[in-house]
Each structure stands twice: as C-alpha cells, then as structure tokens.
Structure 1
Amino acid sequence: MKGFKALFTVFFTFIGFVAYTQTGKLSGQISDSEGTRISKNFVLKGDTNELEQVVISGTMKEVSKLESPIPVEVYTSKFFKANPTPSLFDALQNINGVRPQLNCNVCNTGDIHINGLEGPYTMILIDGTPIVSGLSTVYGLSGIPQSLIDRIEIVKGPASTLYGSEAVGGLINIITKRPGTTPIVSADVFGTTWAELNADLGAKFSVGKRAQSLVGLNYFNYNNPIDNNNDNFTDVTLQNRVSIFNKWSFDRSDNRIFTLVGRYIYEDRWGGEMDWERKYRGGDEVYGESIYTKRWELFGTYQLPVSERILFQFSANGHDQNSMYGDSPYIADQKIAFGQLTWFKTLGKHALLTGLAYRYTYYDDNTPATASADDLDKNKATHTNLPGVFIQDEITLNENNKLLLGMRYDYNSLHGSILTPRVNYKWSSANKDNVLRLSFGNGYRVANVFTEDHAALTGAREVMFIDDLKPETSWNGNLNFVKKIYAGNTFIGLDATAFYTYFDNKIIADYDTDPNKIIYDNLDGHAVSQGVSLNIDIAFLNGLKIMAGATAMDVYSKEDGEIIRQLFTEKFTGTWNIGYTFRKSGLTLDYTGNLYGPMRLPLLSSTDPRSEYSPWRSIQNIQLTKKLKEGIEIYGGVKNLLNWTPNKGNPFIIARAHDPFDKNVQFDSSGQAMVTPDNPYALTFDPSYVYGPNQGIRGFLGLRYNLY
C-alpha cells in the first residue's frame, strides 16, 4: 500500500443540464494489486440554454432557436443515422408532420407533404438558398450525400414573405457542413438484403491558406427486380444514381462570408412489367416507365466588402428530363437563375432586414403546358420573370417579448402583382423554460401542373384545364408553445402547435368526375388545412433518449356547399425515435417508426373493388450500432419489421396491370370503359392508387469511417 495526496478536477456534461465541475484535494492509499476507485455522488442542474441551436431559416439570419420569433425545428445528422436511408426524401419519414408521399406505383417518384399540404407547397433550400422548384421538386432531395449534412431546419407554415412562391406549406433548409469542421476523409456505405447499395464518400482539402474545399460523392444502385405482390410489375423502381457535391469556403478579412457550391446529379430509373427491357422504351409492347434525369446546380453566398452587413445570394440550375411512361413521352428542360441582396441593420431595439430578389425561369416540354395559344401543335417555351422586394423588422420590446413584422412584394410576369405580409409575436419566461409564439401570414403559389404532378405526366389519364389557372393565395395562423421540464436528472421538452390555413383559388386535381381524366381548375370556394401537433423529447441520465410526435389534422375543400376531403392526406400521423446506448459495450440501439391514419384514394368507378380509404399503417425499424476503434463504427438492423405493404387487404393496387395499354378495354360512345367478361369492374390501367412503398421487410448492414 502506498499513501498519496493529489488535486483532482471532475467535469461532467449531459444534454439538458449545466456542466458539473468540482476541484478539490484527495488523499488515500493506492493498492498495488487493485488500484484505487474514487466515487462521488452529485446532482446535475437543469440548463436553461438547452438546445440553443443556431437557426437561420425563420428570419434569414443566425439566431438561437429559442430566441427566434419563428418556430424552427432542427434535426442534426445524428438523428438521421438512427435510420439510414439512400436519400433525404426517405429520411424525412420519421419527422412529425412531414411525410414523403409516393405519387406513382411504377416509377416511385414523390414529393414531401408538410401538415397535409402537397409537395408543391414546400420549398427546398440548400444552405439558405432556394434551389428546388418545378421539375426538381421531385428529384431535389435525392443524391445529396448525407455524410456532408450538418442539420436540417424545418419551418411549418407559410414563409412567402421571405422566400416567395412555393413556401406556402413550409420550407426545408438543408445545411451542409463547413469544410473546416469536417473529417479529412469520411465514408458511409450500406447494403440491404434486397441488393440495394448506397455509398456516401467525403473528403476535404485546402488550397493555399484561404480556401478550403469539401467534396462529396453519393452513389445508389438497385438492379434487382422483385415482384412479391404478383402483379407482374416491379415492386420497387430500379435505380442507378450518382451525385457529386463540391463546397468551397474562402477566408476573408473581418470574417466576411464567401461560399460557393456546385452539385451534379444523374439518375436512370425504371419500373414496369418484369420482362421490360431498354428496347421496349417508348413502345406499346411491354409497359415500362423509364426516366433519365440530368441536373446541375451552382449556388453561393458572398458578403460585400463594406462596413454594413450586406449579403449576395445566388444560384443557377439546369434540369433535363427524358421520360417515357409506357408510350407517352415527357421531355422537359428547365433552367432557373436566382439572385438576392439582403441588408441587415440594427437600430436600437429594431433588427431590420431588407432584400431585393430576382428569379428567372425558363421551361420547355412536349405537353400542352408550353403549346402556343394560337396553334396547339406548335411549341412555345415559357419565360417567367419574378422580381421581388421584402422588408422585415424584428422588434425587441423587452427581454421577454419580441414582435416581427414583414412584407414582400413580387411581380410575376405572367400573373402580375402579389403582396405577402406576416406578423409574429414571441413571449418567453424569465428562465426561458416557456416560450409562446403566435404567427399570422399570407402565402401564394404559382402552379405549373406538369412539373409538379406526376399523375399528369404518365398518360394514364387525359389532362384537362377548365380555365387558365390563377395563383393560389392563403392565410395562415399558427400558435406554438415550447415547455422545458427538469424532473430530477431527466430532461423533458414539449413543443405543441395549432395551425390553420385558409385557401382561395386553390388548384384542385379532380380524379373523381371522370376516371379517364384529371381535371384541373381553381376551386370555386375555399379550402382549409387545420390541426394540432405535439413533439416530445425526453433525455434520461442513463442514456435513454426518446423523441416522439403526433399530428391530428383535417384538410378539405368546400365548393357549392359540399365538403370534400383532400386526396392522399391522412388525418393522423405519429412518429418516434427511441435510442439507448450501452456504455460498457459501446452498442447503441435505435428503434424508429411511424404510424399513419387512413387517407382517401382515387377510384376509377363506383364498381372499383379497391377500398376508398387506405388502412392504418406503420413502418418500424430497428438498428444496432457498434463503435470500434476511433472513427469506425458498424451498424445493421431490420427495416419494415412488420413487413407492411399496401397490397394487403386489396385485390390489387395497379388497376389492370395485365393490360397496361388498355388494348382489351372496350369504351362506350362517351369514352367510358364498359363492363366486359375481361373487365368486370369497367376499369382502365391506372397506377395512381398509391399511398405507401411496396417494399417489405429487409435487413441492412453498413460501415462508417471518419478520419480527422
């Protein structure tokens, strides 16, 4: 035994609590055989600054999440690692109130619904710059290397005052990592028992002393046709996708900002009859939906070299799409250029933001959308100019109260002047444990049906326009309350929201009037999206963490006194993410899932044997992650534990999958399908009855590596 005297310092941190530090003197004896154990009990105190993440999406400037007058939800890269997916589109499935919606049973393209509003109402940004619109709404969330994503910020509710059209339902801002804070080399590769392969690779390097670059590569391949539901169609679309991402960050005097980002994505996907081959592309022998997509993007932010804080954001992108839906082609070319100047100025209690924005859109395709008004057989590309100006004043009334006022004016070269105001109020308690936010605003959307609605492209139904489509307008109110609770050594965070949106001129896709047509028109009445949502975060001292949420909503339109529930919209959604780390073994267990209520689906006729409403459904996943030596971890698990697929309980999903070109369908004089021995339900081929993925249970195994 040996005696000793020493000084010691204990430092302990845990999310949601103030760091514990104690320094003191220690004396005792050391046993040569057993060593010495030093133990001390202590209680951590709740941290009022818990989850003080910096966000930018709500107000276009960096501000702590709790101080923002706009409610912003933040999801870090760690959240998405609990359920690894090959694209951000799939990764959003475990976020409350946000749902990836498949729009086609054959080619598996889709969009993102926020609080029941369809994909065209959601704006996608990368590093705060609007990137996704029109054609790229379908594909913009694919191919971004997830290993390069720092966090995702989500704003629910209209943000048109700052971001213009397409931000009616909300926005999703993908914040990529800064080159200076990323590993030298990173890799995340996983495969599934369905023979899917996804690889995210990243690397950083410096050029001189002032330039740093981050390079990322995403590759996804699935080339294994499977038909478990026995309809002779692929259950999952085959894909070959590659995306290259390059971000530059330049060091400038006075810490001024200059970033430049480029991205290129190529995708070849097809789905259809199991015996489809390339030689059948565009023909009527064997049905297949084949889509070639080429897309490039260039965007960045430059802070002007002046004493005032003035930023110039810019972006340009081109999207080339060559699609064949059976024998119906959709060939489209879209180019968008965007520029925006923003000036930030603080005057006493006023934090002012003013901006000038301009967007130019070129769009051309082979559909009636770009046909000449004088001669429908002649093509006429559209050129849309959209200049705008906006101003925002964030007023600090006192330490606990803030008021935000905003106004935007846009002039659309096709539709004229559009004005969008908003007002937001935030109250917080002295200790910041209670935050109340109230918002009211206006949103608008200029629709382009052929770039937003996959069903309009497939040729399975004829597309009709009753009149020229007018811009939609909406008024929205949100009430948000955040509560932080410290129960002993447990942290509980509550985030509750009530939302209401009222639409004028909403553009409705009518699938019901004629089973062979999709009829588009502005609603002669109004539409409503309303509901409540609750998110709860719980962190226990033993390492157990629970994130769960639920949203109850009602989305409908009212015309001529009749209330019609919106298609493809559920009344209830629930999500959860439960994680626990076994500290001794270095194992982490993640259990994630979602639950969706019934949604109304399009039927072809009153005799269609498929259910008008989808059943309750849930997709659940489990994963184990093991940390090996520094920078290396392996993970694996099972996706879709319940083996849920939409064909269960239905006689079929795709109508007349055995006759996709309607060669054996007989029509009456009005063009309606007739009942025949071969067609007892009077149906035509239609893949639009879709509400969930056809992919059943599967295992997965992956490896992550980071070199710092």
Structure 2
Amino acid sequence: MKYLFSVLLIGNILFSQSTISNLEKDSIAKKDSQNQLNEVVVSGTLKPVKRLESTVPVEVYSPIFFKKNPTASIYEALQNVNGVRPQLNCGICNTGDIHINGLEGPYTSVMIDGMPIVSSLSTVYGLSGIPNSLVERIEIVKGPASSLYGSEAVGGLINIITKNPSNAPLFSADVFSTSWLETNADLGVKFNIKKTTSLLGLNYYNYNQTIDNDHDGFTDVTAQNRISVFNKWNFSREQNRLFTFAVRGMYEDRWGGDVRWEKKYRGGDEIYGESIYTKRGELLGSYQLPTTEKLMLSFSGTMHFQDSRYGTTSYIANQKIGFLQLTWDKKLGKNDLLAGLASRYTFYDDNTAATTTLNENNPEKTWLPGFFVQDEITFNEKHKVLFGLRYDYNSIHGNILTPRLAYKWKMNDNNILRFNAGTGFRIVNLFTEDHAALTGSREVVIANNLDPEKSFNANLNYIKKIYFSSGIFLGIETTAFYTRFSNKIVSDYETDPNKIIYENIDGYALSQGISCNMDINFTNGLKFILGATYMDVSNVENGVKETPLLTENFTGTWAVSYKINPIDLAIDYTGNVYSPMKLPLLSESDPRNPNSPWYSLQNIQFTYTGWKNFELYLGIKNLLNFTPKRNNPFLISRTEDPFDKNVQYDSNGKVLVTPDNPYGLTFDTTYVYGSNQGIRGFFGLRYNLY
C-alpha cells in the first residue's frame, strides 16, 4: 500500500500586536487554537460533539478560510481544501463534481444541515447558488459514512452547516466583480418576529461574456445567470427544544458553445450550443419531539427540473426526493447511543432510454427505507470505541447492510490517534451522474445489467499539537486511507471513440494513500495552512492494474496569511498544485497530450479592515495564467464541424482520415481537466451590521 499526505486546518490564529509580550502571545495562541480544535461538529456521528472528542475525524472550514480566496460558489471554494478537487466534466457547459481522495463525484454525499439535498441529478448544480453569507462552516468527512448517511456517502461527506439565525448579523452583504465582468452578490437579512427568528439570504451571479482567448471559436467559460433565495427559521420553544426549517429556490440559465450562438439556435444543427435551464426547490428542517426522551424528527424534500440542449440532443429531466428520519439519542453510563429510522423516496423521469420500457415512458420510483444504530462507548478519558450498523431495503436491489467501527485513543491533550473502518454502497443512475453521457458527442452503451457498487474503507488518523515557548503553534494531522470497491462501474472511452461503454468492473478498484495537513501560527500575525495528498487510485481487471482517467497521484494546497495590524491590512496567498492525469483521447492519432502537465492555480488577495463593519478586498486569481490549452493544439476536437456532418466512417464504424479530418476525429468535449479561464483581477466589498 502506498501512502499520501493531506492538509487540515487545526488552529486558526490571525492575531497578535507588537505591544503584546511573548508570554502573553503564547497564552493567547494556546487559547485560540484550543477553541478552534474544540469546535462542535455533527457530521461524524450525527450528534453535536467537540471536534477533538469525536471518534470520527472531521475537517472543519469556516468562512474565514474561504474568504482567503473569494469565489462565486461553494463548488469553486473547495479547490483550496486538501484532498478535495473540483473536477470539470464538460469543456463547454462547465458542469463538474467534487473528487475526494481521487474518487469521482458520485461517491461524495453533499448535504445541507445534515439533510441529503445534493445528489443524483442535482450533483453538478447543487453546490452553486448557496449564499455564502448563510454558511456557518463546512464539515468534511473523508472515508466511510454510509452507515449513517446511506448511499452516495461511500468516499466521503460534505456537510454545509448554515448559520443559526439567532447568531447571524442583522444585515450582511458581500459583492465582488472580476476583470472578466463576473459579478457575484451575497445578501443576508435577519428578522425577529415574536418567538421566531428568520434569516433571509440571496445569491445572484451573472457572467454574460463570450470570451475566446484560445481562438477555437467556442466560449472559454460558460455564460451564467443565476439567482438563489434561501430562508431559514428558528422557533423558540419550551425547554430550548429545537425547531428549525429552511427553504431554498434556485433558477439558473447557462450556455456555452460557438461564440455566434443565440437562443434562436437552441436545439438546432446550425450553430452549436449547450444550453441548460435549471429550476430547483428545497425544504429541510428538524423538530425535537416534546417527550422526555431526546427524539429528533428531520425532513427534507427537493424538486429539480432541468431542460437542456447539447447541440441537437435534448435532455429534459424531473427529479423529486423526499427524506424523513427519526433519531433517538440516549446516554446510559459509558454508552452514548444513537438509533434512527429513515426513509427516502426518489422519483426520476427523463426523455432518455433510462426511463423508457417497451417504448413507453416509465419513470423510476425508488423507496429506500432503513434503520441504523450506533453505540459510542467511553471506557475512560483516553479510549473510546464506536460501533455502527445500518440496514436499508432498496425497492430495486433489495437488502443492503453497512457496518461501521471507530476507535479513538487520546494519548494526551496533544496527541490523538483514530481508526475508522466501514462498508458502503451506491446505487447508480448513469444519466443523472455522468455529464459525458448527455453531451451527444458519444453514444452511451450499457454492457450489462449494472449491480450496485460496494466498498470497504479504512483510515488511520493522527493529530499532533506542538506549542513552542516562543508562542509559535504547530498542528499536524496525518491520515492514511484505503478503499476497495467491488462491482465498481467504470466508463470506457477508449474501446470506441464514438461510444462510452459502462459496465461493472471484472475485478476490483482501489483508492489508497496518505494525506497530511499542517497549520503553523506565528505570534507576529503570519500563518501557514499547508496540505499534501499522495494517492494511488487504480482499477484491477485480470491482474492488470490501470489508473482511471482524470485521476491525479498528488495534490498540494496552501494558504499563507499575514496581518499588518498598524495599517489594518491582511494579505492572503493561496494556491494548489496537481500532478499529471490521464486524459480521454479519441484515437492514437489524436494530437492532444495524453496526460495533463503538472499545473498550479495561485491567487493573492489584499483585505483592508480599517472601516467599521466594512471589508474592502482586491486581488488577482490564477497568477500564473494557466489554462489547459497550454502545449495543446486544441481542447475541443473539430469545433469547425460540431455536428460531425463531414466525418466519414469505414464499414466497421471507424472514423476515416480525410483531408478535412487529418487526425480521424469526431467532435468531442470530454478532454477537460481544469478551467480554461486565465488570469484575472477581482475587487469586492463586505459589510456586516450586528
């Protein structure tokens, strides 16, 4: 087994003035770093617990972390989290997913306040339009979470925790724009109405340029017009019992393609464009029952409608998900028990063969009832063990059992060791998860009846805290991880350049490695957050080991911050670096590079805080001006013939080399691994009124 190193924020100290003595600085550093480490988290065990006391390692990222590199969506913001990589899946419409430790997006469960909001059809869009002003923190669990959260939580979990309206500012605003004329606005307003507190948030994003810096006649970045409204309510009840619910509505209109494209060409074969209309509604909440036992009823519902045109290919889909969960939380001596009943209903319908039977429309309706139980046993201050088990019954695939084990050894306050292991499962719908299947540039072939994917996952986590006499704080968190899949569904782009062939792997798949997160805080205001992950991801069939497409072996992230207190100026230098990835070529004669180069995206920001309640910030993104076009003749093949009207084939369906097609290619948009957006400046203003 190979190992890899990942990064994690362990302390969060942005202070220190020159007038404070070294002894005072040391005392403050210890206090602030402990506060950060003891932040309450819920994602690992489904109950509030201090981060250092949790048997399950949970990474916590606050808005302060993401402000170091302001972005228009949480999807983009995650690029600075170690071991987490936003992956573009389409060179034209710029949809994407989130990879954790080399595992593709469908293996990551994304939630809002613990509710399964983002999944299946909405995976590529659900992380857009969540107002950043409403985010309290983001919790990330890398590793097995299916025993608590069910399907999709095979590779990890991203839980977006929204602000408690009672603690939110009366009014907040964050507005910025870039030199590419991207404009993003986040607004938040708090209302108090009798015994209720309401937090209303608005996100608006607009980018409407047709920039073509690589001169291929197609847009470099998708034009987008998006608005999202979020409203969360907290109700005051007797004995401080919880009752909260929230609603969100989102509409997005995005398009990319030929720079001459207009809406009148939508769906036609005259000018190529990819146009996507998305409407989305969400409801989620929690209600603590008025009983002597601690019983919590949680619920969520989503409606997602998508009307898309990929050239002449139409993809119209409608998905509804309902989720209901009842949990019982009880402490009995050394045992901390949690048990729950859950049920999930999914309705999915589209205009493809996925929901057609005997030429008749047959929407997919899936019930997933189940129950789970976990027991965390505290033997003493140093040793804890957690046992968990979940049973689900899938109305299509039958019984599914996912056990879980966790152990924590607190050697002392500065050294903590954790071990976690468990199994996972995932039910697959290709058309809701793999955008490449929808672009129309390749035919989709399902080689056999696809079985659910199953996995075994284990990780070993170690935290080390060091306080130096000079006041410097060093935090190190290292995690070794191992995931083995059976029945993994793989996509074959290489057997036939005109097809994507899907089938269960005849063998197994592995994701293993080691990651390290390091946080260094100096008493003069200088801070380093460093991270690296090395991983070995592979598919093994018939004894042959192969690295999947778009999978890197190494990632690194950093954030260097320095606060100059006398002039109220903060400087943040952030970035990431990725090792080469295997890319999808169309044929041996394809002139594009078969692997991506080492590449890095770096940013710098200056923030002025000298005005009361205001923050003024500006900076530069992508300092190195990196784009995937570098050292490539083109990214999208045959943009001059996107409908393949001039492509000729032999009797076996193989593309012929002709004077008009010297490389024997078809139109294809799947050769993509990063944004085609180059260097740009940004300027913004934040305001908070308490």
TM-score bin (small chain): over 0.9
CA distance in 2 between counterparts of 1:41 and 1:337 reads 56
Matched, 1:582 2:567: no
The equivalent residue for 2:90 is: 104
Kindly provide the CA deviation profile for residues 506-541 of structure 1, in whole angstroms up to 9, marking residues without a partner as x.
Answer: 000111111000000001100000111000011111
| Counterpart AA for 1:534 | C
Matched, 1:501 2:487: no
Matched, 1:364 2:349: yes
| Counterpart AA for 1:241 | R
Q: Does structure 1 retain, via aligned residues, the 8 Å contact 2:567–2:610? A: no
Matched, 1:257 2:242: yes
The equivalent residue for 1:534 is: 516
| Counterpart AA for 2:52 | L
| Counterpart AA for 1:174 | I
The equivalent position to 2:538 in structure 1, one of 556, 575, 594, is 556
The equivalent residue for 1:311 is: 296
The equivalent residue for 1:200 is: 186
The equivalent residue for 1:513 is: 495
CA distance in 1 between counterparts of 2:564 and 2:534 reads 35
The equivalent residue for 1:347 is: 332
The equivalent residue for 2:405 is: 423
Deviation at 1:16, TM superposition (A): 7.6
Deviation at 1:41, TM superposition (A): 6.1
Kindly provide the CA deviation profile for residues 367-409 of structure 1, in whole angstroms up to 9, marking residues without a partner as x.
Answer: 111010xx1x221101000001000000001110000000000
Matched, 1:188 2:174: yes
Matched, 1:646 2:646: no
Q: What SS class does the counterpart of residue 361 from structure 2 fall into?
A: coil
Q: What SS class does the counterpart of residue 85 from structure 2 fall into?
A: strand
The equivalent residue for 1:619 is: 601
CA distance in 1 between counterparts of 2:93 and 2:548 reads 23
CA distance in 2 between counterparts of 1:41 and 1:493 reads 20
Kindly provide the CA deviation profile for residues 527-558 of structure 1, in whole angstroms up to 9, marking residues without a partner as x.
Answer: 00011100001111111111010000011101
Give the 5 Å matches for 1:341-420: 341-372=326-357, 375=358, 377-420=359-402
The equivalent position to 2:71 in structure 1, one of 49, 74, 85, is 85
Matched, 1:440 2:421: yes
Going from structure 1 to structure 2, the CA distance change for 1:16 and 1:651 (only over 3 Å counts) comes to closer
| Counterpart AA for 2:461 | N
Matched, 1:629 2:629: no
CA distance in 1 between counterparts of 2:404 and 2:189 reads 42
CA distance in 2 between counterparts of 1:670 and 1:316 reads 48
Deviation at 1:182, TM superposition (A): 1.0
The equivalent position to 2:196 in structure 1, one of 186, 197, 211, is 211
Q: What SS class does the counterpart of residue 239 from structure 2 fall into?
A: helix
The equivalent position to 1:337 in structure 2, one of 322, 330, 333, is 322
Deviation at 1:628, TM superposition (A): 3.1
The equivalent residue for 1:115 is: 101
The equivalent residue for 1:70 is: 56
The equivalent residue for 1:459 is: 440
Kindly provide the CA deviation profile for residues 539-584 of structure 1, in whole angstroms up to 9, marking residues without a partner as x.
Answer: 1111111101000001110112211111111000000011110000
The equivalent residue for 1:569 is: 551
Pairs aligned (count): 673
CA distance in 2 between counterparts of 1:178 and 1:40 reads 37
| Counterpart AA for 2:332 | L
CA distance in 2 between counterparts of 1:562 and 1:140 reads 37
| Counterpart AA for 1:194 | W
The equivalent residue for 1:476 is: 457
| Counterpart AA for 1:103 | N
CA distance in 2 between counterparts of 1:464 and 1:679 reads 25
The equivalent position to 1:593 in structure 2, one of 575, 586, 596, is 575
Going from structure 1 to structure 2, the CA distance change for 1:86 and 1:41 (only over 3 Å counts) comes to closer
The equivalent residue for 1:54 is: 40
Q: What SS class does the counterpart of residue 455 from structure 1 fall into?
A: helix
TM-score computed with the length of structure 1 as normaliser: 0.94
Matched, 1:149 2:135: yes
| Counterpart AA for 2:245 | L
Query: Structure 1 residues 69-78 or 557-566, which shifts more?
Result: 557-566
Kindly provide the CA deviation profile for residues 244-268 of structure 1, in whole angstroms up to 9, marking residues without a partner as x.
Answer: 0000000111111000100000000
CA distance in 1 between counterparts of 2:621 and 2:115 reads 33
Q: Does structure 1 retain, via aligned residues, the 8 Å contact 2:11–2:34? A: no
Higher relative contact order (CA 8 A, sep 6+): 2
Q: What SS class does the counterpart of residue 379 from structure 2 fall into?
A: strand
| Counterpart AA for 1:401 | H
| Counterpart AA for 2:488 | K
Q: What SS class does the counterpart of residue 206 from structure 2 fall into?
A: strand
CA distance in 1 between counterparts of 2:435 and 2:178 reads 28
The equivalent residue for 1:94 is: 80
CA distance in 2 between counterparts of 1:655 and 1:635 reads 39
Q: Does structure 2 retain, via aligned residues, the 8 Å contact 1:16–1:491? A: no
Q: What SS class does the counterpart of residue 42 from structure 1 fall into?
A: helix
Q: What SS class does the counterpart of residue 360 from structure 2 fall into?
A: coil
CA distance in 1 between counterparts of 2:22 and 2:644 reads 75
Deviation at 1:42, TM superposition (A): 3.1
Q: Does structure 2 retain, via aligned residues, the 8 Å contact 1:341–1:355? A: yes
CA distance in 2 between counterparts of 1:468 and 1:316 reads 30
Deviation at 1:49, TM superposition (A): 3.4
Deviation at 1:38, TM superposition (A): 9.6
Q: Does structure 1 retain, via aligned residues, the 8 Å contact 2:144–2:458? A: no
CA distance in 2 between counterparts of 1:154 and 1:450 reads 26
Deviation at 1:40, TM superposition (A): 6.2
Identity in percent: 62
The equivalent position to 2:529 in structure 1, one of 544, 547, 566, is 547
CA distance in 1 between counterparts of 2:20 and 2:114 reads 48
The equivalent residue for 1:269 is: 254
Deviation at 1:625, TM superposition (A): 0.3
Instruction: Specify the structure having the higher radius of gyration (Cα).
Output: 1
Kindly provide the CA deviation profile for residues 205-235 of structure 1, in whole angstroms up to 9, marking residues without a partner as x.
Answer: 0111x10000000000000110000000000
Q: Does structure 2 retain, via aligned residues, the 8 Å contact 1:281–1:290? A: yes
Deviation at 1:470, TM superposition (A): 0.5
TM-score computed with the length of structure 2 as normaliser: 0.96
Going from structure 1 to structure 2, the CA distance change for 1:206 and 1:681 (only over 3 Å counts) comes to same
The equivalent residue for 1:158 is: 144
| Counterpart AA for 2:134 | L
The equivalent position to 1:178 in structure 2, one of 149, 158, 164, is 164
| Counterpart AA for 2:638 | R
Going from structure 1 to structure 2, the CA distance change for 1:388 and 1:627 (only over 3 Å counts) comes to same
CA distance in 2 between counterparts of 1:113 and 1:441 reads 20
Going from structure 1 to structure 2, the CA distance change for 1:124 and 1:39 (only over 3 Å counts) comes to closer
CA distance in 2 between counterparts of 1:298 and 1:148 reads 16
The equivalent position to 2:266 in structure 1, one of 277, 281, 292, is 281
Give the 5 Å matches for 1:287-326: 287-326=272-311
| Counterpart AA for 1:62 | P
The equivalent residue for 1:485 is: 466
CA distance in 2 between counterparts of 1:120 and 1:38 reads 52
Q: Does structure 1 retain, via aligned residues, the 8 Å contact 2:621–2:682? A: yes
